[in-house]
Structure 1
Amino acid sequence: MEENKKFQQDKVITISFAHFVHDVYTSFLAPILPLLIEKFSLSLSFVSFLTVIQRAPSLFNPVVGYFADIFPIRYVLIAIPALSAVMMSFIGLMPSVSLIVILLLASGIGASLFHVPAPIMVKHVSGNRIGKGMSYFMLGGEIARSLGPLYILGGISLWGLEGTYRLLPLGLLASLLLYFKFRNIPIAGELNKKKKETGAIKVLKEQSRMFVSIGGIFFFTSLVKSSLTTFLPTYMTENGASLWVGGISLSIIQFAGAAGTLFSGSISDKIGRRFTLMFMAIISPFLLLLFVFVSHTMFAIPVLILIGFIMFATIPVLLAEVNTIKSEHSGLINGIFMTLNFAIGALSLLLIGIFGDYLGLKTTYILSAFIGFGAIYFVSRLPKTDRV
C-alpha cells in the first residue's frame, strides 16, 4: 500500500525516456516540410493533410485503451521506438507523396499504441503525485520535439534529405535498451487484474461532460499550438529566414515547452488544475498576437520562450486531471483523452493549413489567436472529478 503512494522516480524516468525516443522520430515532419513543399510542389492544405494522416490512427485510441485494460502489451511498447525510427527516417528517401503517406500512417499507428497505455503506467508509479508524474512523462515528449528538429536537420546537412535513413540506428538501439529497462514495469492490462464491475458504456456517460470540456479546450488551444509548431519553420522561411533559423525557432519553443511541461504538473498539484488551465487559456492567445508583431525583431526569441513555456503546459495538467478519475476503465478513459488530443489537434491543424492558403500565415496566426480565447469557456465548464 505504501509503495502505491510513493513517487517512484526511477520508473517514471524510464517511461519518460521511452516517450522521448519515440517522439524524437515522430517530430521529423515539421522541420522538413519546407523541403517537401519544394520537392513535390505541395500546398499548405496538403501539408496539413500529411499531419492529419499521421494522427488519423488516434481515432482508434479508445479501442486501444479498452484492450490495454485487459491485455498486457509490454513488448509492443518496447518495439514502437524502432518502428517509429524506421517509418520516419525513410521519409526523405521516398520518391512519391503516396509512399510518404503510408509511412506517416504507420508511424501514427505506433504512436497510438504507445501514448494510450503509457500514462496509466505513469499513474501507477506516481503515487499521490500524479501531476508531477505526468509532467515527467510529457517532458520526455517535449524534449524530443525540441531535439528532433535539430537531429533531422543535422542529418540533412550531412547527407541531404534522401540520406536521413542513416538516422535509423538510434531508434533500434533504444528499443534494445528499453527491453532491459522496460520489461519489469507493469503495463496497463497487468495493473487491472480484478474483475471490472462498471461497464464501459456507463463510464462514457458518466464522464461525457468532462470529455466535452476537454474537447473544447483542445480545439481552441490547438489553433494556437498548431500555428506555432507545425507551421513555424514554414512561416519563418516565408519571411526570409533560412531553414536552420526555422528549425532552431521550433526547437526554442519546444525547449521552453519542455520546461513548462516539467513544472506545470507540480504547480497544478499545489494551486489547483482549473486555476492553472484558466491562466494558460487567457495568456496564450495574447502571446501569439505578440509574436506576430515582433517575429522580425530580436524580441521574437523571448516571446517564443514564453509561448512555449505556457502553451505546452496544458496537456500534462489535463492528463493529470483525467488520471485522477476513479474508474476501473483507466485505459479507455486515457484512450478517449488521446483521441480528443490528436484528432481535434489534427482538425485544427487542417483549418490552419486551409486558412494559410487563402489568407496567408500571418493573417491566419492573428485569426487563430482571437479564436483561441474560446478555451476560457470550456475551462470554466470542467466538472470536478472523483479522485483516485
Structure 2
Amino acid sequence: MMSKTFQSGRVATIAAGHTIHDTYTAFLAPLLPVFIARFSLSKTEAGLLTVFMQAPSLLQFVIGHFADRISLKYFIIMAPGVTGVAMSLLGIAPGYAAIAFLLIIAGLNSAAFHATAPVLAGTLSGNNLGKGMGFWMLGGELGRTIGPLVLVSTITLVSLPGLLYLIPVGALTSFILYLRLRTAEEMHRQERKPAKWRLTLKHMRPFFLPLAALILLRSFAIVSMTTFLPTYLSEKGSSLWLAGAALSVLEAAGMGGALAGGWKSDHLGRRVVLIVSFIATPLLLLIFLITRGWLQFPLLILLGFFGLSITPVIMALVQESFPENRAFANGIYMTINFILRSVAVILVGVMGDYFSLLTAFTISAVLMLVGLIFIFILPTQPNSNG
C-alpha cells in the first residue's frame, strides 16, 4: 500500500526537473517576435510553431495507458536533457522547417514527461494531492518565469546562436533526476491495476465532456496572456526585453497562484477555486487591455495569480476521479488540453491577423466568462465540492 504521507523530497525533485524542462520550452513565446522579423512570418505561421511543439501531446493518453502498467520513469529522467538540446538548437535554425522539426522533437519529449511525471508526483503526495499538484505546477511556472529572462539575456549578452551554451544545464539536471528517482519506480507501481480501454473511456466520458468545454473556453484567454503577450506588447512599442520581462512577471505570479490554488482546493474545494479564477481572470484581462504603462505590471501579477492558479486543481480533479488509472486519465486530460489549446492558439492568431490582437484578447476574455456554466456541470468527488 502506498504511503499516505507527503514525500516532500521526491516531490520537490520532480518539481525541480519540471522547472528546468519548462525553462527551455518557455523560450518559444519570446522567440516568436524574433522569428517573425527574421523569417517574415505571419502571426498565424508564428502561432503554428506553438502547435508543432504541442502536437505530440496527442500521444499522451497512449503514453499514460502504458505508464499505468510498465516503468516509464526514464521519460522523466531524460526530459530536461533532450528538451534542452532541441530548444537550444533553435538559436542556429536556418529556417521555418528546421524550427518546426526541433519543436516537434522537444514536443515529443515534453509529451512523455508531462504524461508521467505529474502522476508520480501525485502518487508520492499521499492524501495531499492538491498540494502535490501545486508543487508540480510551481516548478513549471518557475521554469516559465525564468525561461523568457534566460532567453532574452542570452540573446542580448551573447547572441541568438549563444543558446547553445545552455545545453549542459539540461544534461546535468537529467543526471540528478536519475540519482534521485532511480528507486522511486517501485513505489509508483504498487497500486497499478489492469484496465480495459472501452470500459474505462465510457466511465470517464461524463467527466471529460464538460471538462473539455471548460478547457476550451479558458484556453483563449490563457494563450492570449502567454503565447501572444510578447507579440502584443512588441506591437505596442515595447522592446524585446520588456516584452519578455512582462511574460516573466505573469509566470512568476502564476507560481504563487499554482501553489495557493492547489493548497486551497484541498481545503475549500476544487469548484470554489475554479469559480474564482473564471471570474477574476477575464475581468482582469479586460482591465489590462485598457491600461498603459507601469500600471500594466500590477495587473500582470494578478492575471498570473488568478489565471494560472487552476491547472493543479484540474489535475487533482482528474487524478482523484480515476485513482486506479491515474496516468491514463492524466494522459487523456493532457491530450484534450493540447487539442483545444491548439485550436485556441490558431484562432487567436487568425483574429490577430484579420482584426487585431486587442480584439482577439477581448473576445478571449468574454469566452472565459461563459466557461463558468461548465464548472457547475463538471462532476467532482465528494471531497472536492466547494
TM-score by length of 1: 0.96
Which one is further off, 202-211 or 303-312? 202-211
Which one is further off, 378-387 or 276-285? 378-387
Alignment of 1:1-388 (within 5 A): 4-186=3-185, 190-193=189-192, 195-196=193-194, 198-294=195-291, 296-385=292-381
How far off its partner does 1:96 sit?
1.1
- After superposition, the Cα gap between the structure-2 partners of 1:387 and 1:4, relative to the gap in structure 1 and judged at 3 Å, is farther
Identity of aligned residues (%): 38
Answer yes or no: is the 8 Å Cα contact 2:29–2:230 preserved in 1.
yes
CA distance in structure 2 between the partners assigned to 1:329 and 1:348 by the alignment: 28
Which one is further off, 45-54 or 180-189? 180-189
The one-letter code sitting in structure 2 at the alignment partner of 1:229 is T
CA distance in structure 1 between the partners assigned to 2:207 and 2:187 by the alignment: 22
The 3-state SS of whatever aligns with 1:70 is coil
Answer yes or no: is the 8 Å Cα contact 2:73–2:116 preserved in 1.
no
The 3-state SS of whatever aligns with 2:10 is helix
CA distance in structure 2 between the partners assigned to 1:22 and 1:386 by the alignment: 35
The one-letter code sitting in structure 2 at the alignment partner of 1:165 is L
How far off its partner does 1:338 sit?
0.8
How far off its partner does 1:187 sit?
7.0
The one-letter code sitting in structure 1 at the alignment partner of 2:43 is L
Answer yes or no: is the 8 Å Cα contact 2:317–2:380 preserved in 1.
no
Number of residue pairs matched by the alignment: 384
CA distance in structure 2 between the partners assigned to 1:359 and 1:55 by the alignment: 26
The 3-state SS of whatever aligns with 2:185 is coil
How far off its partner does 1:189 sit?
6.8
CA distance in structure 2 between the partners assigned to 1:327 and 1:177 by the alignment: 29
How far off its partner does 1:340 sit?
1.5
- After superposition, the Cα gap between the structure-2 partners of 1:38 and 1:211, relative to the gap in structure 1 and judged at 3 Å, is same
The 3-state SS of whatever aligns with 1:384 is coil
Answer yes or no: is the 8 Å Cα contact 2:123–2:188 preserved in 1.
no
CA distance in structure 1 between the partners assigned to 2:383 and 2:202 by the alignment: 17
The 3-state SS of whatever aligns with 1:116 is helix
Give deviations 1:143-165, integer Å, cap 9, x for gaps.
00000100111110122112211
CA distance in structure 1 between the partners assigned to 2:187 and 2:304 by the alignment: 31
CA distance in structure 1 between the partners assigned to 2:170 and 2:14 by the alignment: 15
CA distance in structure 1 between the partners assigned to 2:99 and 2:21 by the alignment: 18
- After superposition, the Cα gap between the structure-2 partners of 1:187 and 1:159, relative to the gap in structure 1 and judged at 3 Å, is farther
CA distance in structure 2 between the partners assigned to 1:158 and 1:8 by the alignment: 40
CA distance in structure 2 between the partners assigned to 1:324 and 1:315 by the alignment: 14
How far off its partner does 1:169 sit?
1.2
Give deviations 1:263-309, integer Å, cap 9, x for gaps.
11110111111111011111111111000001x23210111100000
Give unmatched runs, 5+ long, in structure 1: none
Answer yes or no: is the 8 Å Cα contact 1:80–1:114 preserved in 2.
yes
The one-letter code sitting in structure 2 at the alignment partner of 1:309 is F
**What is the Cα-based RMSD across aligned positions, in Å?**
1.6
Answer yes or no: is the 8 Å Cα contact 1:84–1:107 preserved in 2.
yes
Answer yes or no: is the 8 Å Cα contact 2:262–2:310 preserved in 1.
no
CA distance in structure 2 between the partners assigned to 1:327 and 1:277 by the alignment: 21
CA distance in structure 2 between the partners assigned to 1:46 and 1:382 by the alignment: 35
The 3-state SS of whatever aligns with 1:240 is coil
The one-letter code sitting in structure 2 at the alignment partner of 1:316 is P
Which one is further off, 68-77 or 148-157? 68-77
The one-letter code sitting in structure 2 at the alignment partner of 1:230 is T
Answer yes or no: is the 8 Å Cα contact 2:145–2:252 preserved in 1.
yes
How far off its partner does 1:386 sit?
7.2
- After superposition, the Cα gap between the structure-2 partners of 1:259 and 1:189, relative to the gap in structure 1 and judged at 3 Å, is closer
How far off its partner does 1:123 sit?
1.8
CA distance in structure 1 between the partners assigned to 2:322 and 2:293 by the alignment: 49
The 4+ residue runs of structure 1 with deviation greater than 6 A are: none
CA distance in structure 2 between the partners assigned to 1:379 and 1:350 by the alignment: 25
The one-letter code sitting in structure 2 at the alignment partner of 1:57 is P
CA distance in structure 2 between the partners assigned to 1:374 and 1:63 by the alignment: 31
Answer yes or no: is the 8 Å Cα contact 2:211–2:378 preserved in 1.
yes
